[in-house]
Structures are given as C-alpha cells and as structure tokens.
C-alpha cells in the first residue's frame, strides 16, 4: 500500500480528449520518491509519460496540448515551465523565474488563446514575494508574539502570509510569456490573505474571463477564535485586476461562518459556494449558495433543503450547461454526485447521479454533458470514470488498482452495518473482512474510532488509516460513525457538542454489544480498538470505562489525555464551541468529559503514538498518557516522531507506524500465533522490497513456489558441479555455488578463458555484481522482512520464513517446496538449513536413496583417472 503509486485527480483539457494527472511512488529500497506527469487519451484509454522530473509540481493546461508547471530550485526560487505533452521532457521551456515559493496554479484560457494565470505564494507585509535567501542573517532564534495565531497545525506563525498572484500569459513567436508587469499581488494593501491555511488550496479561489473570486478570513477578528471567512470578488479591466475597485465582499445575510469552494459558472456570470452560519463552529452545516448575477453582489440565493438533501454535506459544485449544477456531497459514508439546477434552487429538487465509493473530483469534458469523475473506495486508490449526466450511464476509464485486484482486494470484503444508537437513532458502520473470509470461522475484531470528532469513516482509500490493512491481517474491521459524525444530518453532528464522552461512547458500546451477541464470525473476546485525534480521546475515555475491559489492546494516536489541556491547541474556536465556552466560563463541561479523571481504571495494554510537530494536540498529551500507563505498570509502548504533525505522512515513518501498530495488536489479540495471513503479509513485504506493491493470494502462492523451486534447482546445479570438479556432490565450495548461479542466470556469463588470458585479468563482473546485490540494501531489507524481530542474524531468510510461519501442519507453505510436502511423490523439502534437509548431502541422499557413506564407497570403487 505504501509503495503503491499515488495518482492525482484527472483534469481534462478544453476539448475533453486528454486527461492530465500526476503519479508519485516511494521506493523503500532506494529510499527515494519518484514523480511523473502523465497524460491519458480519453477515447482509447492510453496513457503516456510527459515528465518524470521529481521536482515538478502543479501542472495545469494552458493550451489544447500544452501545460505549465512549477519547478523549484535549491535557493527557494520557482520556475514556471511550459511543455507540449506530446514532446519529450527535454523540450520543456522556462516561461519565467520567480524569487519565491509558488504553488496552487490555476489557469483560465480565453477565446483569443491567451491565458489568465493565478497562483499563491507566501508574501511579505510589503506585498512582495517572500524569498528566504534574501532574509538578513539572524543571531537569535527568539520569536515574540502579541496576538494569535502563535502556531498553526505544524508551523510557527510568521509575518508572511499567503497571497494570490495573477498575470496574463500570451504566446508570441511560439513562446509563452507574461504580459507586463508579469505576476502581480492581487491582495496587496488589503489586509486579506488567501488561500486560508493550513489546508487551503486551489479550491479557495476561481477565475473567469471577467474576474476572480476568493475566500479569506475576516482580518478584524481573531483567527484562532473565529471561523468567519468571506467571499470576495475582484473584477478585471483590460486583462488585469481593476485598480479602481479592490476586493468586493459578497454579503450573506445571517451567515457568518466559513465560506468555501467558490466556482464560476461556465459563462462566468454566476458563482456557487458554500457557507456556514456560526462563526465559531467549523462543523456547522454548509449551506449551498449561488450568486445569480456577479454584477450584482447582493443577488445571493440559498438552496432549499428537502428531506433527502438535509443529510447532504455539500463540498463543492461543478457547473454544466444551461445552469446545470453537479454537487459533490457527503452522505452515509460516501461522497456522491447530485444534480440540481440554479434556476430552481428554492424548489430543493435533486437527482442522484453517482454513488460509487467517494468522489474526490469531477470535471465536465469540453462542452458536453459528460463528466470525468475521480473516485476512491475501500479497495481502490484511484479510479477515473466517464459519467453521462443525461442517462446516468457510467464507464470505467482507468482503475489504478484494477478494482482492487492489485492489492488482492475485492468488493465482496466490504459491507455496511446499521444499528440503534444510545438515544434510539440509527447509527451506521462500515465493515471490512479479510480477503480469504469464511463465514463459518471467527476473526478477531479491529474496532476503529475516527477523529474529528465531526468527521466520518468513508468508503474511501487512505494510506494512514486504511481498513484493508487490518482486514488483511486477519481481522473483521468495524468502523462506526457514532454521534458527532458527518453525513447523517446536522442533528447527528451536533449531538456531540458538550457531550464528548456521552452519546458517542454509548453508540460505540451498542455497536460492540451487537457484534458480541449477534455476529457469529466476530471474535470479540480478542478484540482490539484503535483511534486517532478525537478517536484517541475516545480510546482514553474507553480505557477508564467498562468498554475498555472488553479489548485485549488499545492504540492511541495523537489523542487527548485531558480536556483541561485543550487551551494548548491552536484553533481555539473548536474548543470553545465543543465545550460550550471558555475554560473559565464553563469549566464543568471540560471536567465532565476529562479522560484524566478516570486514570485509576486504566489497565488495558496501550500503544501510545504522538509527534512533536503536532500543534493541534501537543506531544505533552501523549507523554502524559505514557507516564500514567508506565506508573500503573500497564503494558505500554510509546512511539514518537520528531518530524511529523497530527498525521504521519513520510513513507519511512508510515512504514514504522504500521509495523508497530500491527505487531502490537497482533501480539495481544493472539492473531500472530497461527494466522496464515501473517505469513502472506510477510511474503508480500518481501515482494514489496523488490519493487512489487500488490498481488492476489493465488499469484503470491505461485511466486513463492517458483522461488522455492529455483532454490531447489540451485542446489541441484551446485551438487552437479561438485561431482564434476571433486567427484563428490557434497564436497562443494563457493566455486560450485558460483557456477550454479551462472547456470541459472543470476550472474553475467564469464568471458572465454582465452579472452581473459589475452586481457590478463579474470572476469569478475558477475561475481562483483552478485556480491554487491547480496550485501546491499535490497537484500538486507528482504532479510529483515523475512526474519522478523525474533530471529537471529545468522539464519538465512528462507529458514526464518519457514520457522516463523509454518508452525502448524496447515501452514501457508504446505504443498510448496518451502513447507510440508503435499500428497505428492518425490516432493522435495527445502528449508534453507532447517528441518530434515539441513545440507546438500541430505538432499542428495533423499534423491538417490543412498547415504553419503554409500556414495563414498561407490566413488572409491570408480576409476577416475
């Protein structure tokens, strides 16, 4: 999973015939990341490479066959590059060089062939691009603050803020260039900043031929205590921002919360966006709004909800022809597509178009009514589909994992569970079973608790909390969406306010009880529970209550030790809202749901994970948890990352995270003792160490057997050379092993003896290459994966693999050369130095039916002269 290619959403060109996307891959052997820009032909599905410059990022279309992208250098500068997608990467040309760090490119092609280009960049208080290399040398590291934010997400606040930079590209003499004065700061001297950190990007602004819209926080309010952000419009005059009119605020009566996802209609005359009502509630219901005439900024209409759409959580809008609106919205653990019309907003009518997995992006193909949909699911990390909005037909264009087959996953593993919550309402949970699931058997429960808390488990793909990872370890994975979860109506979201350990905990208890009493294939006696962020809070709350005694082990990632510490966070509006006020005004609410008040009951083994760059929940929370667990002599372990934030994102760290988490839960659930899936998991790791990222169980077994037969043939060739050279199959040296390796193609063939004598040197190319590989990082990683944590360094990896996993007669390797023989005559058992066949002599005796002593007698009677 971690080494599998990660593909961006697809972006079609103006005609809708080509699809632009990026692919990144991390190689755990070379410990390096590769990145590609690619283009896919929509008519035939063929994809080709445009650039494999790992530093290139943010590609956008600026012509029918031309793209622009950013390329940084080591001094903090950024080049804007241009390339024809059908020309080699070497043909890329630099449009302009900028002394600063540019990102979030967005382009709007005009009828005359010119292009409006907009991006974001850190900008100084003077309105200039921030360039670290130009900073004067400082002799102190001190930081002084007199207002909030002090720090946000994983970064200490500075005087430099995001701004939008705009320019017009024109092609002259076959080359693209900015019209004077190149990129200009649209927000200079306004006090506004966009995109909004820490997650704002291209979704925070949009361009039309007549102007630009963007969202920005209200500069008059404390950004740490209020969510209020407004939508602004800047009109263009003669291809540049109007100097007479600065940013104009679009007013929305009665709505003072987050404004998000502005997007122009195709003709640029309307704008759709979402806005929340409360200015301190980040999980308030997003209202869908439309500016029906951009020349009249007061012409704002709100979409009227129906009974069905009341459970929507709209995220963004895609405009079609004739005011057609496609809404991307979350509902019941999916992100789906819904159709409505800007002409009938107040009627609240909608039509469901697409409900497969979770949609991450959608774009119309040219002027057609056909959509390119990018989606993911629990088994699929990237799928491009063609959706006809007229008849609702869907055609798969490209699936990155072949509908899960590359990961050995299938849709049969995924299901949904509905049950009654603590207050009688319906609660939804996503369920995932192992790929070799057998309903007549039992599997330990992995109980996953999501963060947020106003969030939800989705039918989606993740490289951080992926249910498939736990399912393929042999667990039935259940992911409940209790009170506080989004996508089930605002009442369900609001039910957690000032109630953190109340209704959500009751919903989780009900879910566990249902699994324990009514689902026969779930082994709740060996259950484990895992959660991060608010999920980590709930792990600690569970630890101090009755449900905690139902689990064999717990995993708490970046959790909350004490709610009284929540004023150490950065986004204080969240804390104030969820606990009904400040710590000094409503201390009782903080104390009521404080996990630290129940530490006297903590006794379930717990893995604590926390990171130093997590400014949302500082690392002191994790240290306090671990201190209490250790003082109470509860089996516990602390995993700390000094270079990660609230999420573990770096591939090497993520690999450690997964190893530690899986080893922890497998140890306490007993899943590691006799799980055939663990053997499969280790074999998959060996394959991944050589560059593979996924396969099906049948293919994996075949590869295992082929590898073992290859080793058997290597033994046979070694023995043959030993007989030829020494007259004794057991009298082999490194020379015979080398010759056998050459026979089997593992080494380059030697030059002829005459050529070696003529050159006066022995040809050791093959030997050196093999030794380099055998002693290199890849072989070391293979051996590490295969040996595991409990094997000695002296044991070769096949022996370790055999010893670790073939512990019962029905082990994973039964019927292969690595394991117990199946019911076949003359099956050869090779265990790399262990078991019955410990040497080549044993193998020879097995094959010939004679002992070594008998062979010696025969050889002694032979005339070898």
Catalytic residues: 533, 614, 646
User: Read out DSSP for 303-337?
Assistant: PPP-TTGGG-EEEEEEE-GGGEEEEEEEETTEEEE
> What's the burial of 549, exposed, middle or buried (CB within 10 Å: 0-12/13-18/19+)?
exposed
The Cα 568–Cα 512 span in angstroms is 33
The Cα 428–Cα 421 span in angstroms is 9
No. of H helices and E strands in the chain?
A: 18, 41
Residue 67 near residue 60, CB atoms below 8 Å? yes
Residue 680 near residue 703, CB atoms below 8 Å? no
The most distant pair of C-alpha atoms in the chain lies apart, rounded to whole Å, by 110
The Cα 100–Cα 62 span in angstroms is 22
Residue 95 is encoded by which pair of tokens? 């449009």
CA angle 67, 68, 72 (to 5 degrees): 145
The Cα 780–Cα 757 span in angstroms is 36
User: Read out DSSP for 347-386?
Assistant: GT--EEEE-SSEEEEEEE-TTSSEEEEEEE-SS-S-EEEE
The Cα 240–Cα 211 span in angstroms is 9
Residue 116 near residue 264, CB atoms below 8 Å? no
For the chain, the C-alpha Rg in angstroms (whole number) is: 31
CA dist list (Å): 539 to 455, 530, 532, 553: 16, 7, 8, 10
Return all residues near 799 (Cβ < 8 A) that are at least 6 apart: 831, 832, 833, 834
CA dist list (Å): 772 to 161, 738, 779: 50, 14, 10
Q: Please tell me the total number of residues recorded for the chain in this structure.
A: 865
CA angle 806, 807, 809 (to 5 degrees): 80
Residue 705 is encoded by which pair of tokens? 């057997």
Q: Phi and psi dihedrals of 459, rounded to 5?
A: -75, 80
CA dist list (Å): 86 to 51, 60, 71, 76: 10, 15, 19, 30
Residue 552 is encoded by which pair of tokens? 């064999």
Q: Phi and psi dihedrals of 570, rounded to 5?
A: -105, -40
The Cα 386–Cα 373 span in angstroms is 6
Residue 496 near residue 484, CB atoms below 8 Å? yes
The Cα 560–Cα 92 span in angstroms is 50
CA dist list (Å): 319 to 269, 272, 323, 369, 383: 12, 9, 7, 10, 22
CA 443 to the chain's CA centroid: 26
Cis omega (within 30 of 0) for bond into 717? no
């Amino acid at each position: 999973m971690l080494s599998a290619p990660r593909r961006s959403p697809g972006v079609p060109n103006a005609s809708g015939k080509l699809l632009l996307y990026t692919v990144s891959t991390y190689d755990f052997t070379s410990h390096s990341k590769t990145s590609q820009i690619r283009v896919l032909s929509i008519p035939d599905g063929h994809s080709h490479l445009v650039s494999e410059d790992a530093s290139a990022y943010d590609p956008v279309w600026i012509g029918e066959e031309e793209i622009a992208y950013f390329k940084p250098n080591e001094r903090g500068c950024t080049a804007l590059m241009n390339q024809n997608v059908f020309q080699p990467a070497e043909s890329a040309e630099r449009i302009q060089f900028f002394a600063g760090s540019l990102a979030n490119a967005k382009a709007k092609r005009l009828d005359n062939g010119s292009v409006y280009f907009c991006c974001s960049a850190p900008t100084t208080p003077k309105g200039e691009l921030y360039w670290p290399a130009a900073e004067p040398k400082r002799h102190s590291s001190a930081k002084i603050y007199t207002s909030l934010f002090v720090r946000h997400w994983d970064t200490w606040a500075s005087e430099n803020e995001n701004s939008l930079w705009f320019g017009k590209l024109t092609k002259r003499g076959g080359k693209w260039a900015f019209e004077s004065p190149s990129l200009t700061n649209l927000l200079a001297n306004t006090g506004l900043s966009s995109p909004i950190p820490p997650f704002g990007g291209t979704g925070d602004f949009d361009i039309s031929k007549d102007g630009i819209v963007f969202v920005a926080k209200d500069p008059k309010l404390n950004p740490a205590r209020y969510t209020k952000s407004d939508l602004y419009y800047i009109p263009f005059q003669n291809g540049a921002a109007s100097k007479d009119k600065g940013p104009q605020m679009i007013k929305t009566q009665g709505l003072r919360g987050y404004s998000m996802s502005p997007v122009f209609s195709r003709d640029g005359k309307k704008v759709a966006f979402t806005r929340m009502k409360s200015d301190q509630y980040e999980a308030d219901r997003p209202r869908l709004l439309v500016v029906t005439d951009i020349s009249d900024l007061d012409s704002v209409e709100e979409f009227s909800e129906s009974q069905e759409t009341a459970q929507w959580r709209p995220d963004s809008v895609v405009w079609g022809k004739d005011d057609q609106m496609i809404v991307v919205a979350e509902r019941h653990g999916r992100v789906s597509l819904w159709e409505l019309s800007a002409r009938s907003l107040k009627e609240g009518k909608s039509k469901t178009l697409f409900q497969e997995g979770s949609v991450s992006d959608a774009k119309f193909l040219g002027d057609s009514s056909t959509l390119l949909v990018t989606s993911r699911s629990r088994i699929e990390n990237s799928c491009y589909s063609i959706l006809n909005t007229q008849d609702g037909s869907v055609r798969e264009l490209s699936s990155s994992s072949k509908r899960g087959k590359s990961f050995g996953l299938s849709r049969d593993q995924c299901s949904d569970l509905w049950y009654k919550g603590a207050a009688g309402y319906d609660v939804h949970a996503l369920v995932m079973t192992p790929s070799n699931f057998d309903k007549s058997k039992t599997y330990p429960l992995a109980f996953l608790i999501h963060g947020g808390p106003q969030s939800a488990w989705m039918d989606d793909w993740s490289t951080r909390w992926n249910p498939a990872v736990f399912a393929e370890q042999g667990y039935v994975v259940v992911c409940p969406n209790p009170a506080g979860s989004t996508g089930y109506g605002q009442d369900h979201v609001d039910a957690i306010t000032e109630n953190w350990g109340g209704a959500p905990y009751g919903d989780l208890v009900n879910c566990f009880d249902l699994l324990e009493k009514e689902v026969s294939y779930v082994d709740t006696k060996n259950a484990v529970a895992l959660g991060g962020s608010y999920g980590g809070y709930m792990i600690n709350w569970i630890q101090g209550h009755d449900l905690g005694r139902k689990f064999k082990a717990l995993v708490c990632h970046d959790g909350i030790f004490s709610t009284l510490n929540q004023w150490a966070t950065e986004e204080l509006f969240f804390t104030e809202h969820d606990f009904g006020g400040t710590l000094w005004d409503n201390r009782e609410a903080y104390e009521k749901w404080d996990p630290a008040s129940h530490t006297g009951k903590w006794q379930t083994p717990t893995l604590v994970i926390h990171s130093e760059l997590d400014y949302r929940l500082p690392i002191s929370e994790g240290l306090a948890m671990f201190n209490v667990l250790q003082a109470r002599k509860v089996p516990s372990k602390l995993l700390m990352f000094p270079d990660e934030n609230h999420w573990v994102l770096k591939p090497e760290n993520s690999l450690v995270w997964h190893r530690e988490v899986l080893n922890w839960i497998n140890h306490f659930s007993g899943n590691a003792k006799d799980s055939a899936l663990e053997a499969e998991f280790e074999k998959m790791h060996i394959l991944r160490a050589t560059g593979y990222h996924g396969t099906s169980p049948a293919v994996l077994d075949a590869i295992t057997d082929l590898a073992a037969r290859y080793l058997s043939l290597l033994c046979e060739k070694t023995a043959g050379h030993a007989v030829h050279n020494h007259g004794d199959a057991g009298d082999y040296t490194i020379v015979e092993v080398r010759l056998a390796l050459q026979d089997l193609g593992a080494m380059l063939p030697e030059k002829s003896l005459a050529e070696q004598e003529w050159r006066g040197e022995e040809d050791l190319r093959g030997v050196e290459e093999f030794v380099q590989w055998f002693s290199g990082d890849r072989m070391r990683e293979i051996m590490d994966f295969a040996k595991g944590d409990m094997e000695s360094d002296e044991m070769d990896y096949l022996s370790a693999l055999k010893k670790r996993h073939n512990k019962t007669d029905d082990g994973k390797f039964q019927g292969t050369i690595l394991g117990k023989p199946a019911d076949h005559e003359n099956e050869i058992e090779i265990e790399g130095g262990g078991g019955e066949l410990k040497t080549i002599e044993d193998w020879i005796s097995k094959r010939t039916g004679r002992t070594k002593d008998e062979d010696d007698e025969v050889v002694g009677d032979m005339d070898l002269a």
